[in-house]
Structure 1
Amino acid sequence: MTARDLACFVAALLVAAAVTVMPAAAQQMPTCSVRNLPNPPRVMVDCGGILLEREAAAQLGFVVSERGGTQRTEMVLESGRFLIREHPAGDAQILTPHAIASVRGTLFAVEVAVGSTAVFVVEGSVGVTHRGGGGGVTLGPGEGVDVAPGEPLVVRTWGAARARALLERFGL
């Protein structure tokens, strides 16, 4: 993990207030390899079976949590954009200040801006809820949702221009 990724991890811990952080001795942080990709410029991060691409400026980290007696490593995206390419079998979650995206065998992108998070699915499905809890939605291919505090979750089919604007950042 690079110094920048470590700094992102520390920043992510600060925004992960809804997650119970385990003591340092119990943490099983993923071993990550990082590779820079050109055209468009981005960073490929491979962390123990989770393969994602992120913009260089994206603030991404990991936190170990315990829910229902099960310990898990979750990704925390504080700002920027990233694309999940692969992940291990089972349920994984991506936390942002506004939303929780639950991975369900898919290719999808997340964009965090000031005051909102956008989630868009290319393949498969993703469950999305407000970070503070409440009812959720499930997105399918071509669908997205904008998550803002206090606003209802409305699933929309994204137009080609909006989807392209996000996915071009990852060479798709």
Structure 2
Amino acid sequence: MGVIVRAACVAFACWLFAVQMAAAQPANMGCATESPANAPQTLRCEGGVTIVAENGARFTLQDRDGNGRVDSAELSSKALLLEVPKKQGGNRFQVTTPQAIAAVRGTKWTVDAAEGKTSIFVVNGRVAVGRRTGSHSVTLGAGEGVDMDVMGPLTVKRWPAARVAALMARLGQ
């Protein structure tokens, strides 16, 4: 029994350390955190990138080109709302989930990762969405979304207002 309790304590300490590291990470990539009580976390990053994370969202920010600015996120659960300004050339900002890769140049969109499924919705602009494995992709425009699982087709749909409102409410919008 003592071994189990010690293992649980070690696991909790590791989890706590990882959470603290994730919270500290945005400052290292040119992002400032705005977190009003009981509201989703908002990160305002250099280059005009804004990321709103649903309470409890699990994600990491990345700097793929090594310039010190966030240019991608790996999302494993819950939702992010992203606003990325249009820029000339360079890498597209992308969000990767277990099922999908969504990449943009200048838009506002959401990515919602749940076990076995990723949903992507575009508020404005355009987003290219594809599977992590495979080459098939679709492009979403304003008001459109796609629900992806491991095997099903990538079917672009106009999302009903009630679904959009429910997702945006989770993100404090």
Gaps of 5+ in 2: 1-16
Higher relative contact order (CA 8 A, sep 6+): 1
Partner of 1:63: 62
- Deviation of 1:160 after TM superposition, in Å, equals 1.0
Percent identical across equivalent pairs? Answer: 36
Partner of 1:156: 157
Q: Report the residue type matching 1:51 in the other structure.
A: T
Distance 2:134 2:64 in 1: 16
* TM-score normalised according to structure 1 size: 0.75
2:83 is equivalent to residue 85 of structure 1: yes
- Deviation of 1:9 after TM superposition, in Å, equals 9.3
Higher strand share: 1
Partner of 2:96: 95
Gaps of 5+ in 1: 11-28, 67-71
Aligned counterparts, 1:7-156, within 5 A: 7=22, 30-37=29-36, 41-49=39-47, 50-65=49-64, 73-87=71-85, 89=87, 90=89, 91-156=92-157
Higher helix share: 2
Query: Cα deviation per residue 1:73-109 (whole Å; 9 max; x = unaligned)?
Result: 4211111111012346251111111100011311111
* TM-score normalised according to structure 2 size: 0.74
Distance 1:31 1:126 in 2: 24
Aligned length: 147
Alpha carbons 1:98, 1:148 under 8 Å: kept: yes
Partner of 2:19: 4
Q: Report the residue type matching 1:43 in the other structure.
A: Q
Distance 1:152 1:87, change over 3 A: same
Distance 2:151 2:24 in 1: 27
- Deviation of 1:3 after TM superposition, in Å, equals 6.5
Extract structure 1 runs of 4+ deviating beyond 6 A. Answer: none
